[in-house]
């Protein structure tokens, strides 16, 4: 068995992966330039180092280890994109959405010197629906005169605006107390042991790609509707479908059957619905219309799947409409637009003719198998020491970072934690990720790699 040790061979205290991973996470969200990074640095104090990087398709999330009044927790900073990004409002709302689905509590940061903008309001609207605790922080409150201004932020509907100055530190102790008050003791569990039952599938894709046609084709009359007994809904929510000898639970198919049309905000609600179906599922079947150019909306759905950490199978539907020319175009589009999910299996199907629909269930099984894979610690560590011996991490500020220990902390999706003696370049982390896939597979599943640095 492996024990993480320092240069003198002494065990490294406080670096027990199980213990570290068992602490809850508070996500910090807000517009660019409201002062998130300044605040996060203030809250951490100087001693804490970056401990995890979670590279996302839309942006990276940075997770820090934090300690306050003897309680350990993680702070996730999701800031840092282009301030003048087009569609900023949507980006911030999506960030809030992701935060409330992945973290154990969320803090929205608003710039008190500016007041609530429409972007802040959009984020607050999303967060008001959150199942996890949410709090509001008004920063840049550098002196007492500004405190009264923060009162107007009550109207965001997220409770008391906690006034702080990230720059001077004013109010940061009280803020930390308030954060720990709302933060649960233990992290949320997505799919705990013993979840059992049929495996859960989200059938998603932009409107008109053929989701309901496909469900009808593969399941036909042969599906039963499941009433969600746990929730209060009386609406049938999921469908049980017999595919290739197994029963699968297609989640949230109610919307597909009802064909609800909304006059305004349709796209926004469709996107929320998609995102909640993905969260509720273990594997996503993403439909893309093969007869049309791959759209930004298709990429957005794929991004949601990989950021949610779900297994993935891509179906190119309407293959009956694809001719030679279109096939060539599609090959180019795949290289250009789907590079970030190249690990996913693709099946060309037609909901109209039934072409290749028999290949769907085997692809789902393979993706889930990757998603469930666990590499034993011993094997992982001998693999990584061979890898590092062949190609050591690049030297940084005159020091050669060492990888002390590796462990697969979680499955679903496979999540690896490396304990290193120094910063590992993003390029080197990508190299490790690539080699993990080359040597162990993981087709159909996202994998995560985080690096923990000992000070």
Instruction: Write out the binding residues for GTP.
Output: 30-37, 77-81, 205-212, 252-256, 317-320
Stretch binding ligand GDP (CB under 6 A), from 15-23, 50-58, 62-70, 135-143: 135-143
- Cα distance between residue 184 and residue 361, in whole Å: 38
Buried b (16+ CB within 10 A) or exposed e, 319-335: beebeeebeeebeebee
How many other CB atoms are there within 10 angstroms of residue 380's CB atom?
20
Annotated binding residues, as ranges?
30-37, 77-81, 205-212, 252-256, 317-320
Q: According to CB under 6 A, which residues from 264 to 303 bind ligand GDP?
A: none
Q: Does 429 bind ligand GDP (CB under 6 A)?
A: no
Structure tokens given for 433? 């990720």
Stretch binding ligand GDP (CB under 6 A), from 36-44, 99-107, 362-370, 423-431: 36-44
Nearest to 352 by CA among 259, 216, 250: 216
- Of 54, 126, 163, 209, the residue at the interface with ligand GDP (CB under 6 A) is 209
Q: Does 213 bind ligand GDP (CB under 6 A)?
A: yes
- Cα distance between residue 99 and residue 132, in whole Å: 10
Distances (CA, A) of 375 to 3, 341, 392, 445: 17, 22, 22, 14
- Cα distance between residue 283 and residue 303, in whole Å: 14
Q: According to CB under 6 A, which residues from 247 to 266 bind ligand GDP?
A: 256
- Of 21, 50, 270, 352, the residue at the interface with ligand GDP (CB under 6 A) is 352
Taking the complex as a whole, how short is the minimal distance between the CB of residue 53 and ligand GDP, in angstroms? 16
Q: Does 446 bind ligand GDP (CB under 6 A)?
A: no
- Of 48, 121, 142, 337, the residue at the interface with ligand GDP (CB under 6 A) is 142
Taking the complex as a whole, how short is the minimal distance between the CB of residue 404 and ligand GDP, in angstroms? 31
**DSSP assignments along 368-414, one per residue:** HHHHH----HHHHHHHHHHHHHHSPPPPBTTB---EEEEEEEETTTT
Stretch binding ligand GDP (CB under 6 A), from 2-10, 125-133, 202-210, 374-382: 202-210
H or E element in which residue 361 lies: helix 360-372
| Positive or negative: CA dihedral 219, 224, 228, 233 | positive
The angle at the Cα of 250, spanning 248 to 255, to the nearest 5 degrees, equals 165
Q: Does 112 bind ligand GDP (CB under 6 A)?
A: no
Q: What is the DSSP code (8-state) at residue 84?
A: T
Q: According to CB under 6 A, which residues from 383 to 422 bind ligand GDP?
A: none
Stretch binding ligand GDP (CB under 6 A), from 95-103, 134-142, 175-183, 300-308: 134-142
Q: According to CB under 6 A, which residues from 320 to 339 bind ligand GDP?
A: 320-321
* Contact between residue 361 and residue 243 where contact means Cβ atoms under 8 Å apart: yes
Cβ nearer to ligand GDP, comparing 43 with 351: 351
CB-neighbour burial class of residue 221 (10 A; exposed 0-12, middle 13-18, buried 19+): exposed
H-assigned helices in 45-171: 88-102, 118-127
- Cα distance between residue 392 and residue 432, in whole Å: 11
Stretch binding ligand GDP (CB under 6 A), from 64-72, 296-304, 312-320, 442-450: 312-320
- Of 52, 165, 253, 357, the residue at the interface with ligand GDP (CB under 6 A) is 165
Taking the complex as a whole, how short is the minimal distance between the CB of residue 435 and ligand GDP, in angstroms? 33
Q: Does 38 bind ligand GDP (CB under 6 A)?
A: yes
Taking the complex as a whole, how short is the minimal distance between the CB of residue 352 and ligand GDP, in angstroms? 4
Calculate the CA 302 to chain-centre distance: 11
Interface map 175-194 toward ligand GDP (x if CB under 6 A): --------------------
Buried b (16+ CB within 10 A) or exposed e, 178-194: bbbebbeeebeebeeee
Q: Does 34 bind ligand GDP (CB under 6 A)?
A: yes
Stretch binding ligand GDP (CB under 6 A), from 172-180, 206-214, 336-344, 376-384: 206-214
* Contact between residue 403 and residue 419 where contact means Cβ atoms under 8 Å apart: yes
Q: According to CB under 6 A, which residues from 12 to 31 bind ligand GDP?
A: 30
377-390 vs 426-440: helix crossing angle, rounded to 10: 120
Cβ nearer to ligand GDP, comparing 114 with 195: 114
Stretch binding ligand GDP (CB under 6 A), from 3-11, 273-281, 345-353, 357-365: 345-353
* Contact between residue 294 and residue 340 where contact means Cβ atoms under 8 Å apart: no
Cβ nearer to ligand GDP, comparing 79 with 413: 79
Taking the complex as a whole, how short is the minimal distance between the CB of residue 272 and ligand GDP, in angstroms? 16
- Of 184, 207, 378, 394, the residue at the interface with ligand GDP (CB under 6 A) is 207
Residue ranges in contact with ligand GDP by CB under 6 A: 30, 32-38, 79, 139-140, 142, 165-167, 205, 207-213, 256, 317-318, 320-321, 350-352
């Amino acid at each position: 068995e492996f024990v993480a040790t320092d240069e003198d061979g002494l065990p490294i205290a406080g670096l027990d992966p199980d213990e570290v991973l068992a602490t809850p996470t508070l996500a910090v969200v807000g517009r660019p330039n409201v002062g998130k990074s300044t605040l996060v640095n203030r809250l951490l104090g100087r001693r804490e180092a970056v401990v995890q990087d979670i590279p996302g398709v839309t942006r990276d999330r940075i997770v820090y280890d934090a300690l306050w009044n003897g309680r350990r927790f993680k702070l996730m900073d999701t800031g840092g994109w282009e301030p003048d990004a087009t569609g900023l409002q949507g980006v911030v709302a999506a960030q809030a959405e992701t935060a409330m689905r992945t973290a154990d509590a969320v803090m929205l940061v608003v710039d008190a010197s500016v007041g609530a903008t429409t972007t802040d309001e959009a984020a607050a609207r999303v967060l008001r629906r959150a199942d996890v605790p949410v709090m509001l922080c008004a920063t840049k409150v550098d002196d007492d005169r500004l405190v009264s201004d923060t009162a107007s932020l009550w109207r965001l509907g997220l409770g008391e605006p906690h006034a702080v100055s990230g720059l001077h530190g004013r109010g940061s102790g009280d803020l930390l107390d308030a954060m720990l008050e709302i933060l649960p003791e233990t992290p949320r569990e997505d799919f705990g042991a013993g979840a059992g039952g049929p495996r859960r599938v989200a059938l998603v894709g932009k409107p008109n790609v053929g989701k309901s046609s496909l469900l009808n084709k593969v399941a036909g009359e042969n599906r039963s509707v499941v009433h969600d007994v746990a929730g209060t809904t009386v609406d049938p929510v999921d469908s049980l479908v017999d595919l290739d000898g197994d029963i699968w639970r297609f989640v949230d198919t109610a919307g597909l059957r009802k064909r609800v049309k909304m006059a305004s905000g349709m796209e926004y609600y469709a996107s929320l619905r998609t995102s909640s179906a993905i969260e509720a599922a273990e594997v996503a079947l993403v439909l893309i219309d093969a007869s049309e150019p791959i759209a930004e909306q298709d990429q957005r759905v794929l991004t949601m799947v990989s950021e949610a950490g779900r297994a993935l199978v891509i179906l190119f539907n309407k293959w009956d409409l694809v001719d030679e020319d279109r096939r060539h175009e599609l090959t180019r589009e795949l290289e250009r637009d789907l590079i970030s999910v190249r690990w996913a299996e693709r099946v060309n199907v037609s909901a109209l003719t039934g072409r290749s629909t028999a290949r769907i269930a085997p692809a789902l099984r393979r993706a889930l198998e990757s998603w469930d894979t666990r590499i034993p610690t011993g094997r992982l560590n001998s693999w990584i020491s061979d890898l590092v011996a062949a190609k050591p991490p690049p030297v940084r500020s005159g020091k050669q970072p060492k990888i002390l220990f590796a462990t697969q902390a979680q499955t679903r999706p496979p999540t690896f934690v490396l304990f290193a003696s120094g910063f590992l370049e993003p390029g080197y982390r990508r190299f490790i990720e690539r080699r993990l896939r080359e040597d162990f597979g993981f087709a159909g599943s996202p994998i995560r790699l985080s690096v923990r640095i000992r000070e």
